[in-house]
Structure 1
Amino acid sequence: MKMIKGKRMMLIIAILGLTSTSGIKAQDKVEASVGADLVSGYIWRGQDLGGVSIQPSAGLSYKGFSLSAWGSVGFNGGDTKEFDLTLGYSYGGFNIGVTDYWFTSQDSPARYSDYKDAHTFEVALGYDFGPLAVNWFTNFAGLVGTNEEGKDVYASYISISAPFKLGGIDWNAEIGATPWANSFYNGYSDGFKVSSISLQASKEVKITDSFSFPLWAQAIWNPTTKGAYFVAGISF
């Protein structure tokens, strides 16, 4: 929404779920990808958005530019359905992107054309320093978040993550917060609030000599809502 949740408009070239690079030379030909994740729960920036879900993705990239689509459909018919489109650009450790998040559910049915009520447009800016990555996200159109007076406040989210290896597997520690009061995160966030503290472990599970799949598990705590989650997923 997750990643293209999201949360503006200062720069319209970029990526929803920012994937970082580290000084890799841009490819000279178009590259395509397609995949899907099966997750035990959909937790996005400390918010519970559903139970067991299938999350397909597809994308194209060329010379640092990328265009990707991502979705989430819960096994429970009442879960929110999501479809995100992200346009991004990355160079070295620098990333910039714009994501269009679209949500609908049985409780709040919405047409895709309902841009004001069913979409959130988010701009993202980040840099991967290697041992630490910092990303900032801000809503700039659609459902942007409001204050107590009902005025638009362009809800924002900042995250700091640190990858490391321990015990032969990959880990990632992350903390995320909302810098000012808004209605978009945590039901209502009145000022600076930490929304997510998480630790994720991942590894490749080998099935045969030619086939393996990524497996991950993540513990998440939202100090603002007092929510705690432990979820896992596999990628295909």
Structure 2
Amino acid sequence: MEGMKKIVLFAMGLVACATTHAQETESVETTVAADVVSQYIWRGQDLGSVSLQPTLGIGYKGLSLSAWGSVGLSEPADTKEFDLTLAYTAGGFNIGLTDYWFNAGLDPEGRYFKYDAHGTNHVFEANIGYDFGVASLQWYTNIAGNDGENKDGKRAYSSYVEATVPFKLATVDWAATAGAVPFATTFYGTTGFAVTNLSLKATKDIKVTDTFSIPIFGQVVANPCSQKAYLVLGFTLQP
């Protein structure tokens, strides 16, 4: 009888461990997606024409690691980019660190694994923000790598602040965004405080089958600092 009790307890322990493992596995989130856009516009800056922008990510209990890239489809000279982001979200609060890599920068050979302080194409950026529900606010600052310079020719610690207000209108998801660069920096091409991004984006899911739809989005972007404006159309592929 004592031996049977031990077997039962051991079996119950295995079931408990298996259940816990299953619950933990189920809480792991993965992302595999790709955007195709008519223009690559980033924070009011024109970085390329028609582009493919894949995303691969994994998340667990608010902690996430994602990879994002961009490559031009119509212009070989367009920016090639590969970013890695480590982020943490708790409620509305979020914080993150991104390693941007561009094919153009201080290293003319465009080597990914070159991290020299004065010879790399990487830019390291920290961000912090809060989503209030009706609006979200984000602050981004370059902390290392190929940052821009300020008016004195020193590292600018280039920063960008952005507010976004989402809303729904006529069954379409909308987002209005205003972004600004608070200080002078060659990274964003500003000589002081400047509004660099005013945008309005609309997204609508187009149903293909009962289990698959394609989000299509359109976006109007204006950069008052550079006095330029853009109209972007794109769609997302995600299983």
- The reply to whether TM is greater than 0.5 is yes
Give structure 1 stretches of 5+ with no counterpart.
1-25
Cα pair 1:74 1:80 within 8 Å, conserved: yes
Deviations 1:32-90 (A, max 9, x none): 11111111110000000000000011001001100000000001111010000000000
Match of 2:192, SS state, is coil
Cα pair 2:62 2:89 within 8 Å, conserved: yes
- Please name the residue that 1:97 is paired with: 96
Larger-Rg structure? 2
CA distance in structure 1 between the partners assigned to 2:46 and 2:183 by the alignment: 21
1:39-188 paired onto structure 2 within 5 Å: 39-75=37-73, 76-105=75-104, 108-115=108-115, 116=117, 117-185=120-188, 188=189
**How far did 1:29 drift?**
2.4
> Higher RCO, 1 or 2 (CA under 8 Å, sep at least 6)?
1
Match of 1:112, SS state, is coil
CA distance in structure 1 between the partners assigned to 2:232 and 2:60 by the alignment: 33
Aligned AA for 2:60? Y
- Percent identical: 53
**How far did 1:149 drift?**
2.7
What TM-score, normalized by structure 2, do the two folds share? 0.84
Match of 2:78, SS state, is coil
Give structure 2 stretches of 5+ with no counterpart.
1-23
The structure 1 segments of at least 4 consecutive aligned residues displaced by more than 6 Å after TM superposition are: none
Match of 1:152, SS state, is coil
* Aligned positions, number: 209
1:183-202 paired onto structure 2 within 5 Å: 183-185=186-188, 188-202=189-203
What TM-score, normalized by structure 1, do the two folds share? 0.85
CA distance in structure 1 between the partners assigned to 2:130 and 2:196 by the alignment: 21
Cα pair 1:37 1:56 within 8 Å, conserved: yes
Cα pair 1:32 1:60 within 8 Å, conserved: yes
- Richer in helix (by share): 2
Cα pair 2:176 2:201 within 8 Å, conserved: yes
Match of 1:154, SS state, is coil
Cα pair 1:155 1:180 within 8 Å, conserved: yes
- Please name the residue that 2:214 is paired with: 213
CA distance in structure 1 between the partners assigned to 2:44 and 2:219 by the alignment: 12
Give the aligned CA root-mean-square deviation in angstroms.
1.8
